[in-house]
Structure 1
Amino acid sequence: MSTPKQGTLFVVATPIGHRDDITVRAIETLKRADVVAAEDTRHTRPLLQHYAIDTPLVALHDHNERTAVDGLVTRMLGGESVALVSDAGTPLISDPGFRLVRAARAAGIRVSPIPGACAAIAALSVAGLPSDRFVFEGFLSAKAGARRSRLQELVGETRTVIYYESSHRVLECLEDMREIFGAEREVVLARELTKMFETVLGEPLGTLVERVAADPNQQKGEFVLMAAGHTMDEDARVGEGLRVFAILREDMPPAKAAKLAAAITGAPRKALYGAG
């Protein structure tokens, strides 16, 4: 008796707002799959109905992922294909699905991406901030102390930093960012992307906090916040590089210490090595 061909796990991106932002390939994949594993079946069902997709739905969310994964992997090992979707955008990006993808790969099942919308990338593309290097932090903690602690750890990050935030905490989060990053740090707020009330505001934090606080409409919806990276002038960079170089030189040769200090601070390596 022949062994049935294994199925495939398709990781399918869906619209973040506007329903037309779905690819033809995503629609075809959702139609041909044996089952759609959705973060919230009540949210996904209207999307499937809109495109006349009648593939059965099963729930896969934070609360049941551990128990649901084994059953889905068994189905794929038996030859069925599963399409994984989240409520919006690309699955696993601050959404469930990691355990299923990891288990499928461990079982030797093919995992194939069906790319499309992602709120973080869509926001970054219109932010006007450096996009060659960036950091994605997802959702900061709902607890004020933990949120501020994480922001403090990121205050010196030189890359653009991307956060997700909810309407319940967006103003509080911006206020924390102003306190920790300073009123002059540029932050871009992208709200309700691809939807009717889409807004993209880019201003120094001091101005942005006041603007959002004064307009309740700018506190509604789904948010992507992007903070410009920390910058130093050349003299400050060299000064920081020398400080780091002095510490590293205690435990390693000058050339290696200069190279590492330059990588950490962005100071010219020759300037640091010359000081040694």
Structure 2
Amino acid sequence: MSASSASLSLLQAAATAAGAQQYPAATLYVVASPIGNLADFSLRAVHALSLVNAVACEDTRVTAGLLRHLGLDKPLIAVHEHNEQSATEKVLARLAQGERVAYLSDAGTPAVSDPGAVLAHLVRAAGHRVLPLPGPSAVVTALSAAGCVSAAGPGFHFAGFLPAKGQDRETGLQAALAQPCPTVLFEAPHRIESLADRLAELAPDRPVTVCRELTKQFEQIDTLPALQLPAWFAADAQRRKGEFALVLHAPAPARVDDPGLPPEVERALRVLTRDLPLKQAVALASELTGAPRNALYEQALAWRQAAQQTGDDEDAAG
């Protein structure tokens, strides 16, 4: 099958799968694009791109290549971090004429550590619709492989790229490590080794999932204690190349015998966790006692884990 025939088949499949949905005019379509593997592009996104009158994008060269792969040819409008405010006027002019306009960043979901937030805000402020087409995201892809976000836990924190250097970078890293939940960081290849060194110094026992070149041919995903990160990168020069997402797993829960909480606070927390879901019990205990939620959550989680361990031991003994 020729490339043109393959593109036509793809567009036909996209129209069949997604054509029944409405695609209103005078709307900005915020489209998530592949983070590496073109096969991850959704049929709905393909169909929407076939309908729009123009495509605004972070880098016209990157998006032009994607459109060629799909067999599409659309006018392109460069909208990136250096011109997002001024370039929005071109998009608004088209929307005012009733046109459909798509926006794509270079990879992943726009406006998440990528341009697009200013554009979406200004389009909505002008009275036009902003319609998201979800898809690839390095954040959730990394978390799904790390396996460290519990349905009963406090969720996760997304820190994005740390500041490039200086005290701002150190402050950002300290804040990321202080989160009570898993935290996702992005990092550039020329700074990944210095980040690994600092993580090894600050949190040697903290598990870190390193995701390199997610969804691409030479994708690597590995979980190891932060102390081992410098050696892991030093072992193979290829490991220092590409795009990185790091998941800092949550800090270890407080020990059951940790006397950090006053006895009266512990008593209130025990009563509440006996009859309420963990999150609700922690929130109510914090409101009643004034104790910080993080400490209460860690203590309640430690009790639960200890109880589960005891149950497992008893089952094994039985």
TM-score by shorter chain over 0.5: yes
Match status 1:24 vs 2:54:
no
Match status 1:103 vs 2:125:
no
Q: What SS class does the counterpart of residue 120 from structure 1 fall into?
A: helix
Instruction: Tell me the residue number matched to 1:136.
Output: 158
1:128-154 Cα offsets, whole Å, 9 max, x none, are 222541000010111043222222223
Match status 1:146 vs 2:168:
yes
Contact 2:286 2:292 survives alignment (8 Å)? no
- Structure 2 residue runs without a partner (length 5+): 1-23, 266-284, 301-318
More helix by share: 2
1:154-209 Cα offsets, whole Å, 9 max, x none, are 333210000111111111111112222x2111000000011111000100011122
Match status 1:82 vs 2:101:
yes
1:50-106 Cα offsets, whole Å, 9 max, x none, are 110111111000111111112211221221111000001111110001111001111
CA RMSD of aligned residues (A): 2.1
Instruction: Tell me the residue number matched to 1:166.
Output: 188
Match status 1:212 vs 2:233:
yes
Q: Which amino acid aligns with 2:161?
A: F
Instruction: Tell me the residue number matched to 1:56.
Output: 75
- Alpha-carbon spacing, 1:82–1:51, altered in 2? closer, same or farther (3 Å): same
Counterpart-to-counterpart distance in 1, 2:216 and 2:143: 17
- Alpha-carbon spacing, 1:128–1:152, altered in 2? closer, same or farther (3 Å): same
- Alpha-carbon spacing, 1:256–1:87, altered in 2? closer, same or farther (3 Å): closer
Instruction: Tell me the residue number matched to 2:85.
Output: 66
Q: What SS class does the counterpart of residue 168 from structure 1 fall into?
A: helix
Contact 2:158 2:185 survives alignment (8 Å)? yes
Contact 1:6 1:78 survives alignment (8 Å)? no
Contact 2:58 2:80 survives alignment (8 Å)? yes
Counterpart-to-counterpart distance in 2, 1:100 and 1:49: 25
- Alpha-carbon spacing, 1:257–1:92, altered in 2? closer, same or farther (3 Å): closer
Q: 1:187 aligns with which of 208, 227, 239?
A: 208
| Number of residue pairs matched by the alignment | 252
Q: Which structure has the higher relative contact order (CA within 8 Å, separation 6+)?
A: 1
Q: Which amino acid aligns with 1:191?
A: R
Contact 2:53 2:74 survives alignment (8 Å)? yes
Q: What SS class does the counterpart of residue 195 from structure 1 fall into?
A: coil
Q: Which amino acid aligns with 2:123?
A: A
- Alpha-carbon spacing, 1:256–1:230, altered in 2? closer, same or farther (3 Å): closer
Contact 1:9 1:111 survives alignment (8 Å)? yes
- Structure 1 residue runs without a partner (length 5+): 246-254, 269-276
Match status 1:13 vs 2:32:
yes
Counterpart-to-counterpart distance in 2, 1:263 and 1:186: 23
Match status 1:264 vs 2:286:
no
Q: 2:198 aligns with which of 170, 176, 189?
A: 176
**Structure 1 stretch displaced more, 127-136 or 224-233:** 127-136
Match status 1:230 vs 2:230:
no
Deviation >3 Å, runs of 4+: 255-260
Instruction: Tell me the residue number matched to 1:36.
Output: 55
Counterpart-to-counterpart distance in 2, 1:41 and 1:65: 14
Q: 2:177 aligns with which of 155, 165, 180?
A: 155
Contact 2:177 2:248 survives alignment (8 Å)? no
Q: Which amino acid aligns with 1:87?
A: D
**TM value normalised by structure 2:** 0.75
Counterpart-to-counterpart distance in 1, 2:165 and 2:87: 30
1:258 CA displacement: 5.0
